[in-house]
C-alpha cells in the first residue's frame, strides 16, 4: 500500500492496529525497533497513510498475537480500495458500527439531515427504544443492549464540537412510542436547541420538493482529514470521502439551509407542536 493521504478505511485500519499494539504493552517506538522499522513508518500506518505492504502488516499483527477474526478484518481493511467503504454490521445495528463511532469521535463538526425520524444523536432513550423495537434487524433479546448502545452515542454532544441538525417537520409530527414519549422528545429538542454548539433547523412542509428528498445523511469534518459523508440503509453503512461525493452533499446542505427555518423559527415550530399535545 503506497503512502497516501488519510482515508476512512485507512484510519479505521490504523485504529485497529493501534489497539493491537496497545494490547502488547509496548510503545510504538519499542515495537518499531523490534520489527526493524523506522518509527515514522509505523506512525504513518496508524494514521491511515499506508507505507507498508500486506506481508509487513501480517507480521506486525502476528507479533501482537492479534486474534484471527480481528486479524482478518484488519487485512480486509488494508486491501480496500476505491472512493467509498461499505460496512455490514454483524449485530444488525447500522448506526453502531465501529467505523461510525470512530469517525464521530474524531469529528469536530457534524451536520445531519433527517426526513422521517428525529436524528439519532437527539433521540431520548424511550424514543430509541420504540424505534429499535420496530427494527427488523434486531432480535427481541438484543433490544435492551441495542438501545443502551445507541443512547450512549449522545455523549459526543459536547461543546468541543459543533452540530447542525436539519430535520423535516414531518419527523416532528410522527408519533413514536406513544404521546408521552412524543411529548418528551419534543421537549428534549427544545432543551438541546439552546446550547450554543447545537443548531436545530426545521425544514417546513411548506417548502415542498427540495434537495434533501435524496435521503438522510451525515457529513463529518475533521481538523486534519478530508470530510466524510455517511449514509446508512437497513443492512449496511456507506462512507464516502472522495471530493466529488463530498461536494455533492455539501451542495445539498446549502439547498437545505436555504429552505430551512432559522433557529428561533424552528424552536417556535417545535413548541407549537408540543403545545398542541398539552
- Is 8-81 CATH 1.10.260.40? yes
Per domain, the residue ranges of the chain are 8-81, 86-275
Measuring CA to CA, how many Å separate 27 from each of 21, 24, 38, 148, 213?
8, 9, 13, 34, 49
Among 3.30.870, 3.30.9, 1.10.10, 3.40.50, name the CATH number for the domain at 86-275: 3.30.870
Q: Which residues neighbour 183 within 8 Å (Cβ) at sequence distance 6 or greater?
A: 274, 277
pLDDT per residue as tens digits for the range 86-141: 665 555 455 555 677 878 888 999 999 999 999 999 999 999 999 988 877 777 88
Higher pLDDT, residue 9 or 72: 72
Q: How confident is the model at residue 1 (pLDDT cuts 50, 70, 90)?
A: very low
Reported as a single tens digit per residue, the pLDDT across 51-77 is 788 888 888 888 888 888 888 888 877
Share of the chain above pLDDT 90, in %: 41
Strand residue runs (E) in 22-169: 84-87, 109-114, 162-168
Say which residues have a Cβ less than 8 Å from residue 18's Cβ, sequence separation at least 6: 46
Give the integer Cα–Cα distance in Å for 9 and 81.
8
Q: What angle do CA 161, 165, 169 make, to 5 degrees?
A: 165
Distance (Å, whole) CA 188 – CA 182 = 10
Dist. CA 234–CA 112, nearest whole Å: 18
Q: What is the dihedral of CA 117, 120, 126, 129, to 10 degrees?
A: 90
Q: What's the whole-model pTM score?
A: 0.74
What's the mean per-residue pLDDT of the chain?
85
- Burial readout 38-62 (b: 16 or more C-beta within 10 A, e: otherwise): eeebbbbbbbbbbbbeeebbeebbe
3-state secondary structure 176-217: CCCHHHHHHHHHHHHHHHCCCCEEEEEECHHHCCCHHHHCCE
Amino acid at each position: 500500500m503506497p503512502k497516501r493521504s488519510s482515508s476512512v478505511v485507512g484510519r479505521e485500519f490504523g485504529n485497529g492496529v493501534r489497539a493491537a499494539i496497545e494490547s502488547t504493552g509496548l510503545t510504538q517506538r519499542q515495537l518499531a525497533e523490534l520489527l526493524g522499522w523506522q518509527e515514522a513508518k509505523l506512525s504513518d500506518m496508524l494514521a491511515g497513510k499506508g507505507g507498508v505492504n500486506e506481508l509487513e502488516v501480517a507480521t506486525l499483527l502476528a507479533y501482537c498475537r492479534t486474534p484471527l477474526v480481528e486479524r482478518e478484518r484488519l487485512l480486509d481493511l488494508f486491501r480496500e480500495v476505491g472512493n467509498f467503504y461499505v460496512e455490514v454490521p454483524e449485530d444488525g445495528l447500522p448506526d453502531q458500527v465501529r467505523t461510525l463511532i470512530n469517525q464521530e469521535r474524531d469529528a469536530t463538526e457534524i451536520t445531519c439531515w433527517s426526513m422521517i425520524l428525529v436524528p439519532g444523536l437527539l433521540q431520548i432513550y424511550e424514543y430509541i427504544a420504540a424505534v429499535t423495537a420496530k427494527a427488523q434487524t434486531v432480535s427481541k433479546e438484543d433490544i435492551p443492549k441495542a438501545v443502551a448502545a445507541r443512547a450512549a452515542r449522545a455523549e459526543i454532544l459536547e461543546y468541543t464540537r459543533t452540530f447542525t441538525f436539519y430535520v423535516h417537520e414531518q419527523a416532528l409530527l410522527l408519533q413514536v412510542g406513544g404521546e408521552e414519549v412524543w411529548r418528551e422528545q419534543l421537549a428534549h429538542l427544545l432543551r438541546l436547541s439552546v446550547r450554543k454548539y447545537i443548531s436545530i433547523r426545521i425544514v417546513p412542509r411548506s417548502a415542498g420538493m427540495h434537495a434533501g428528498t435524496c435521503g438522510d445523511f451525515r457529513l463529518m469534518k475533521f481538523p486534519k482529514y478530508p470530510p466524510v459523508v455517511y449514509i446508512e440503509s437497513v443492512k449496511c453503512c456507506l462512507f464516502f470521502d472522495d471530493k466529488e461525493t463530498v461536494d455533492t452533499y455539501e451542495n445539498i446542505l446549502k439547498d437545505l439551509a436555504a429552505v430551512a427555518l432559522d433557529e428561533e423559527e424552528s424552536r417556535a415550530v417545535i413548541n407549537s407542536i408540543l403545545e398542541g399535545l398539552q
